[in-house]
Structure formats: C-alpha cells, structure tokens
Structure 1
C-alpha cells in the first residue's frame, strides 16, 4: 500500500573531494578534483566540498579552480576553528558562493585526548571563527561537529547555541566513528532540531563502520535533518561515508513513503563513479549496491527462470534507471531454463537428450573459469550447433 506525504526536498552536500579523498589511496590532483567537481555539480549536488585549503598548496589550488568554475552548486571549504584557516580559504576561493564549514570538537573524549582544551575554549573558538568568516564577507558558514554521536548533550548544545549567535546557518552532526544505531542517530538529530531556530539547517554526516551509514542518514532525515553529506561510491575515512548513489536510489523508490526527494540525476551517477574510479585507481566491487559489477546480474537458475519471464520477479531496483544494464551470467548454478531461452533465440530445436548433454557441458560441468555473460555462451552454442547441422545439398 502506497503512502503519500508532502515531499520535502533534501539538500545534497558532496564531500567526495574532501572526506572521500583523505582516505588512503584516494589522492587526486587539483585538476582531477576540478573534473570531479564539475561531474558532481552536473548530478545536481547543492554543495561540493573542495577540500581543506590551509592543509596544503594542492588543496589551496583545488579550491581556487573549483571556486572559479562551478556555476550552480556552492563550494565549501573545510576549516578548523582557527581564524587563519578561514583567511586561507577566502584567499583561495573568495567569498562569493562560498560556504565555510568550521569544525567543532563535539566530545569530551576528543577535547581531552586530541585537543587538550576545555569545553569553554571549544565553544568560544567556534563562535569566534564563525564570526570572523562573516567579517571577511563569506556568504554562508556551517559548523561540522566532529564526534557529535559520542558528545555530551550539554557540550553539543553550548557549541550549537554559541555558533547560532555568531551567525552559523547549518550544523553537520557527525557520527565520526560510525558508532550509532539509526534510532540513536535519529534521536540526536531530533535534539539538534529542537535547539535551532527556524531557517537553520541540520545535515547528517555518517560513517559506515557498522555498515549503517545509509540507515543512519535516512533516520536523521526522517527526524528532521534538511541535508545529507555524502560521497560518490561511499569513499571516505575507514569504511567510508554515506554513498550518494544509495541515498538517491532509496529516495527514488521510497521517497513517497518518507516524504523526501532529491534533485540528483540518478541516471548519470554511474558514469561519474566510473570516472572517479579511474582517477583514484579503485577496482569496481562485485556486490556493491547500485554500482557493483553484478548489482544487476544473476547466475542463479531459479532467479533466471523468473527474470526471463518478467524481470520484476527478482529486480526491484531497475538498472536502466541508474545507467546500468541487466546481465544474466551463465555458471554452474544456472539452469535449463536459460539454456532453452538461448536455443529459442537461436532458432535451434534439440531433443531432450541433446538438451541434457548441452546442459552438462555448458552449465553443470563447466570448466575453465567462472561465470560468463549469456551472450558469450550464446555465440559458443551457435558455432557448436551450426557445425552439427547437415550441409545443404
């Protein structure tokens, strides 16, 4: 039974070029970052995080290139709660269409063991940096609260209220260690929503250490978050971030139930992901949702029998919607149904005994590798069975 709600548009913040790139093996040059930024902008992202300009000349140059070439999306720079980081970000990208994201330290654990500062210092440095960014003419300042999922509520509230007073217009609530369950993260977003005045956005920022980044992001959106921070293919620190394609695909099918939608061009995502893999040397996984090599492929005979009659039997997510193609793979688990299908397409009739022999040779007792695409087996059978036909008089 379908459920209809008034649909709320979800803002998409892409951090492929910052959080995604900082993971081992994902380094990109400034020009490569520009190319990916333009591809991600074309998908319909609202914000594209260019990087951390104060961290290196390469990040500075990437921000300069991206800021000068984006036409519809805003660019975001990552800054610590330090005035000089914002100065460098503005030097790199100017102030127009520029969102500065100031990192706040959101837990006593991080304050004690990473920063070595007090709660009061943590609150003050964020408010001061937000105010400094606006004094420089930056159009929009967001606060990303690191380790918010393990943060003490009174600390999180103090940081939030201080930053709002300084003018912050968005708060990214980070499950930095990927430790939350969906119900925990949803409850955290509800609290943030209750602290904030109307017009101030809340964004999800979830990591995938338990494989829950998508579930947590959706729980956050359902609890009132306005924006989702994502990466293409889910690349990112440790197990990665919330994948853009999974959020977009889920809202394509379940948006009416959730009352949510995005403006992401889902048909173009796979091409952008393929370009990203080429840049960072990422092998295509076999079983990843939406983007996996065999996300829309099967070698199981029972599944193939149903799909040959109606793909909907085993295919809820439709490949063509996402720039993909369905694939039937022939392997030892395929059945006679797919073999009959191939022979029918070739217009070749065989006896039941011959069919049993072909089944043993081409499916049940296959040798020389794993699965093959149905078209490869079809060509082989065409050659083999044509040679068996009697020559014309």
Structure 2
C-alpha cells in the first residue's frame, strides 16, 4: 500500500516566540511592560512552547516586563536573553526566577564578530560560554540555551568549540542563528545537520533565522528537516531589518504540508490573526496589503478571473483557506472585476436586467470606475440596490 506524504507520522516542532524580545528591539516596535504582558498572554494562548520576554539587563522596563510575564505565564516556559556575563544572568534570574525560566545566552559565533564586534579570541569566547552556563546552572536554572550568533558565517571549528563548551558546562539547548539572513536553505540545512551530529538528542537544537533574503521560513524548515527540534519565530515576522521567521507562515506551511516534511505544530492557527491585530495596535504597525496570511488582501481579490473561479468553487484560487486562520474571504469591486461579479450582485438582490441595462451597469460599476481603488462587495451591493430601487 502506498503511503501518501500527508498520512505519514509527524514529529512535533517546538515553537519559541521572540516577538517580545527580538521583535520588540527593532525600530518602532517598543512596548511598555503592561503591553508586553498582554501580548505574552495572547502568544501563550496560541500554543507556543516558550515565550521570550525580554533582555532584563538592558533596561528597567525589560526587567519589569520579565518579572510580570514570569508571574503571568501559566503553561509556556519563560525565556530571557543575556550576554555571556554573570551579571546579565544574575539580573535575569532576579527578574524571572529559576523554576520556569530558560536563560538564553548569546555566544559570539563568527570570526568577523570576534574581531570586529567583540575584539576577543576564540578561546575567550568559549571560556565566556562555559563560565556563564556553569554559573547559571549553579544558580538553579534548569534550562540554559546558548544561541550561537552569526553561526551561518562562523567556521566549523568555532561553532563546534562553542557547542561543545556549552554542552559540557550544562546547557541543554543550542540555537543556531542566521543573524544576517545570509544563508540559503541548502547552507543552513547543512549547518544544522553538522551540529546535530555534534549535539545528539536529547539536546534541543533550535533555529533563529532572519529574513533579509526572504528565506527565513525556508531556512527554518530546512533546519527542521536536517534535525532541528525547534524554531524561533515572531508574530508577523517582526524583528531586526527584514525581520524573523513569521509564526503564522510556519504554522500555515506545516498545517498544509507538514506530512511531506514529517513535521507538525500545535499552534492555534485560528487565533493568530487576532493576536497579530493586537500587536499591530500596541506597536502602531500599519496593516500590510499583501503579506501572507496576515495581509489585508491575503484573501481578497478584485480580478474578474479569480472571482469567477472563487464564486464557482473557492478551491480554484484559495489553497490556503481563510477561515482556518481567522480570516474572511473578500471579493472587492475594481476596474479588473468582470461580469461574473456583477451578475452575482444582481442575483443577490433578486434583480433581473436586460442586456442593455446590464452593459450600462457594467460600464458604470466596473470598467468605468475612476482611479484604482477597490470597494467592498457589500458597499457596492447597497449602492446598486438603492439605484435599482429608484433611490
């Protein structure tokens, strides 16, 4: 018997949401502690495994946000961001405690960062990691992860030394960061496969991919296929420069194609858009038009050919189903709409027309429209109803 890809057993992907840390540190995305608490609750409700709250040592606001979120989370694990210094870890533990807290340390993972950002040697970088991981464990932190920054540009020798040092000191998770978004899926998958061989399970292997080439999702999935257990994401993909792996795109891809990859998540896809709408309100983010899943017109069209197909059977142009993601289909009237949508409106109104009347209406409501703006179907239907009623 042939087993279809969608019927194959799948492996659950762990999801770390870093909207409140990496997403928030990008220009224009700053949040107050109470706003972070609201978003942490919404993000936890989506089913993520870990909520990364903040960089507690960076500011009093981040410290307070961490403290409040640590008291708020009911199921998901709290994560914080720290440099490889004892002082940062002490502050993080003071804010978030040790019971349900993953201390995430950032290690210097490429030669260009060693020389031009830090001005330290490889040996010093490894010593920082081993010392700080050991210190965190001595404080009672059960989960310590080491994020290897710029790992996609680091040499094998450096990445291996950092990985080995972290695990020997007691870390239980290694995060591979494509910090500049420079990797391709083939390159990132190969990196993950190498590190997976150096750090076999039960060590967690996580991906942190940026979107500078628009490849963050593809790289994250390549990493999962190569052996990673976890993906770091943000709502809407917000984050430094081009952003991070978008939670909604990962969840959508695995909802439809997870069988082919042997992967699934437990993310509540129907609740994501409401959470994203709340995030947009909090950080005053303009609504994108064409962003996958969350774009204003991700499930909307003015094209007559598309509308004709959708009215006959939505599957003609909707591979991704809007209701599955808390969205609604939008058929809009514009200059590119066809005769089918006008007939649809007239049928809804229960109105018949002669060929001559129909042609006149088609010209005025469709082809003769001024400008390029489109209108909602219901708005046009109401105006058409008033006209046909003589009002």
In the superposition, the TM-score normalised over structure 2's length comes to 0.98
Aligned to 2:184: 181
Q: Specify the alignment match of 1:312 in structure 2.
A: 315
Segments of 5+ residues of structure 1 without an aligned counterpart are 389-393
Name the SS of the counterpart of 2:328 in structure 1. coil
Cα pair 2:254 2:265 within 8 Å, conserved: yes
Q: Tell me which of 153, 156, 159 is aligned to 2:156.
A: 153
Query: Which residue pairs with 2:277 in the alignment?
Result: 274
Name the SS of the counterpart of 2:360 in structure 1: helix
* Residue 134 of structure 1: how far off its partner (Å): 0.5
CA displacement at 1:197 relative to structure 2: 2.9
SS at match of 2:201: coil
Number of residue pairs aligned between Structure 1 and Structure 2 = 388
1:187-243 C-alpha deviation (Å, 9 max, x unpaired): 000001000132001111000000010111111111111000000000000010000
SS of the residue aligned with 1:25?
A: coil
Partner secondary structure for residue 387 of structure 1: coil
Determine whether 1:257 maps to 2:257: no
1:44 corresponds in structure 2 to: 47
State whether residues 131 and 166 of structure 1, in contact with CA within 8 Å, keep that contact through their aligned partners in structure 2.
yes
In structure 2, what is the Cα distance between the partners aligned to 1:149 and 1:341? 53
Residues 334, 372 of structure 2: 8 Å contact kept: no
For residues 369 and 108 of structure 1, the distance between their equivalents in structure 2, rounded to whole angstroms, comes to: 51
Superposed counterparts of 1:14-93, under 5 Å? 14-93=17-96
Superimposed CA distance per residue, residues 109-136 of structure 1 (whole angstroms, 9 cap, x where no aligned partner): 0000000000000011001100100000
The reply on whether 1:206 has 2:209 as its aligned counterpart is: yes
Q: Spell out the pairing of 1:1-393 with structure 2 (5 A cutoff).
A: 2-3=4-5, 4-367=7-370, 370-387=373-390
**Paired residues of 1:205 and 1:229 also in contact (CA < 8 A):** yes
Task: Give the Å deviation of 1:69.
Answer: 1.1
Check conservation: 1:5, 1:258, Cα contact below 8 A. Answer: no
| 1:342 CA displacement | 0.6
RMSD: 1.0
* Kept in 1: contact 2:335–2:372 (CA 8 A): no
Q: Secondary structure at the match of 2:390?
A: helix
In the aligned structure 1, how far is the partner of 2:131 from the partner of 2:200?
20
| Structure 1 CA distance for aligned equivalents of residues 166 and 175 of structure 2 | 12
Q: For residue 369 of structure 1, report the CA deviation from its aligned partner.
A: 5.7
CA contact (8 A) 1:207 1:242 kept: yes
Q: Secondary structure at the match of 1:79?
A: strand
CA distance in 2, matches of 1:207, 1:368: 38
Alpha-carbon deviation of 1:386?
A: 1.1
CA distance in 2 between counterparts of 1:177 and 1:361 reads 51
Deviation of residue 368 (structure 1)? Answer: 5.9
Structure 2 CA distance, aligned partners of 1:305 and 1:193?
49
Shift of 1:154: 0.5
**Structure 2: where are the runs of 5+ without partners?**
none
Distance 2:88 2:8 in 1: 43
Query: What's the secondary structure of 1:209's corresponding residue?
Result: coil
User: Deviation above 3 Å: which 4+ runs of structure 1?
Assistant: none
1:391 corresponding residue in structure 2: none
